[in-house]
Amino acid sequence: MNKTFISTAIDYVNAFPHIGHALEKIFADVFARRERLLGKEVFFLSGTDENSLKNVRAAEKAGVSVSEFVNKNTEKFFELKKAFNLSYDDFIKTTEERHVLGAQKLWHACEKDIFKKIYSGLYCVACETFYKEDELKDDCCPIHLTKPEFVEEENYFFRLSKYQDYLEDLVEKEKIKIIPQSRKNEILSFINGGLEDICVSRSSERAGEWGIDVPGDPSQKIWVWFDALANYITALDFGENGDKFQNWWQNNDRKIHVVGKDILKFHAVYWPAMLFSAGLNPPNIIFAHGFITVGGQKISKSLGNVIDPFELAEKYGADGVRYFFLAEFPMAEDGDFTYEKFEQRYNSDLANGVGNLFERVLTMVLKYGVENIEPAGADQAILDLCSQTEKSYSGKMANFQFYDALKDVLLFVGAMDKYINNKKPWSLLDDKSDQTKEILSDLMFSLEKIIFWLKPFMPSKMGKTENYLKNLGEQKEKLNLFPRIQ
């Protein structure tokens, strides 16, 4: 359990990223950073899905070539890394040669379960999937609420129905653990409802001649989901069966996917079946997060409520935005963003909470004399509280309960404020008493704990604060950790 592979979903690049895209990356990044702090080896993967039909149509609408269009938008998605201080180890694009070779290799490995037939059905371009009539909502896609297109052509199919029992056992016995439990129940219900074979190609003509050729049949392009799901292994050099693939996928029992709840079916049903057909190991954990709305409404260009993540990070700072998304609502549920909520949360938790505590303690330490203070846990009550908080926090972090883990940290911050109010160390600063020295040492010990707990969430702020404390005696400017938003 010393290795962790963690991935986000790869994003369609038919438009620039919005805050929902940033949210998923931040969430996975917090987990990756926590694992590294615990001494684990981590491979963190993200990327972009460049082969979808929606990308082709968006490029046509923009009046530019598909390659020019996807390259421009992919660059914006990659810029999220810098904007939000994300710690990807790799970023894969599905037009890369390593991906094309790997996706075609996976197709070959599944060929015993692939067959061709004429098919007609209702296809949602936004979802890149077929729907049955009883799955529609008012004759529309249940996710995008747009009318699907009727498609009739000869395509390749994958024998998903063959793996019904395998998939049921995999999910039921948590050989793949799906978080939260409610999503596991949804997937089991879907499987138990009876699995049908799925279409895994589309005609090259309908695909706009864009995408990955079906091996041996250039008249067909590999279905974008079969292609896209392969990214988790093509980024690990599956195409060349390299050491990276063996090390991080085949011989690793800690492979985690972080995805939106709307694409859970593809990751928890289609993907494991494809892997099993190819003789490869499945992922171990799939976390399905909720959606984010803006002012109670789904993010939509037509509603004019799209929030630019880059502008948000520029205005409030990456760490403040990272904190808000993880502290405002449990990630397994839907959450809502407004600027009012953001500023209220920032001021209450960070400016008046964490920032105020650091300012109070450091002001007293500097007045007492930095050279006389060493962080130490001498007060048993503080040691006990640290231990209780660490145990609770660690359990929640391991189970992706970041919202609750941050609550633990804030409770600890509040307890330290009460400790200061009760002990009143400021009243004895001028006397340089040993009692005051012990109190301040305990408080410095507590600040170090808070930094460690908050580092995955706010790596830049906490890293700078850690360095500030290490060189406290040399600091000429007051630490203004979280200036209040007026």
Report phi then psi at 358, rounded to 5.
Answer: -60, -40
Task: Pick the catalytic residue from 110, 124, 199, 386.
Answer: 124
User: Is residue 140 annotated as part of the catalytic site, yes or no?
Assistant: no
Would you kindly state where each structural domain of the chain is located, as residue ranges? Answer: 338-474
Task: Pick the catalytic residue from 54, 99, 110, 141.
Answer: 141
User: Is residue 108 annotated as part of the catalytic site, yes or no?
Assistant: no
Please give the distance of CA 52 from its chain centroid, rounded to a whole number.
Answer: 22
Task: Pick the catalytic residue from 144, 244, 265, 396.
Answer: 144
Min mean pLDDT across 72-76, 132-136, 151-155, 417-421 is at 132-136
Return the structure tokens found at 296.
Answer: 């109670």
**420-464 tens-digit pLDDT:** 999 999 887 877 888 888 999 999 999 999 999 999 999 999 999
For residues 295 and 303, what is the distance between their CA atoms, to the nearest angstrom?
11
**8-66 tens-digit pLDDT:** 999 999 999 999 999 999 999 999 999 999 999 999 999 999 998 889 999 999 999 99
Region 135-142: what's the mean pLDDT? 78
Local confidence band at 79 (pLDDT 50, 70, 90 cut-offs): very high
Percent of the chain with pLDDT over 90: 78
For residue 20, which amino acid is it? G
Three-state DSSP state, 227: helix
3 pLDDT higher than 70: yes
For residues 98 and 238, what is the distance between their CA atoms, to the nearest angstrom?
8
User: Is residue 298 annotated as part of the catalytic site, yes or no?
Assistant: yes
Please give the distance of CA 228 from its chain centroid, rounded to a whole number.
Answer: 17
User: Is residue 289 annotated as part of the catalytic site, yes or no?
Assistant: no
Determine the CATH number of domain 338-474.
1.10.730.10
Is residue 225 a contact partner of residue 236, using CB atoms and an 8 Å limit?
no
Say what the pLDDT of residue 368 is.
85
For residues 122 and 431, what is the distance between their CA atoms, to the nearest angstrom?
80
User: Is residue 199 annotated as part of the catalytic site, yes or no?
Assistant: no
| Residue 301, Cβ density class (10 Å: 0-12 exposed, 13-18 middle, ≥19 buried) | exposed
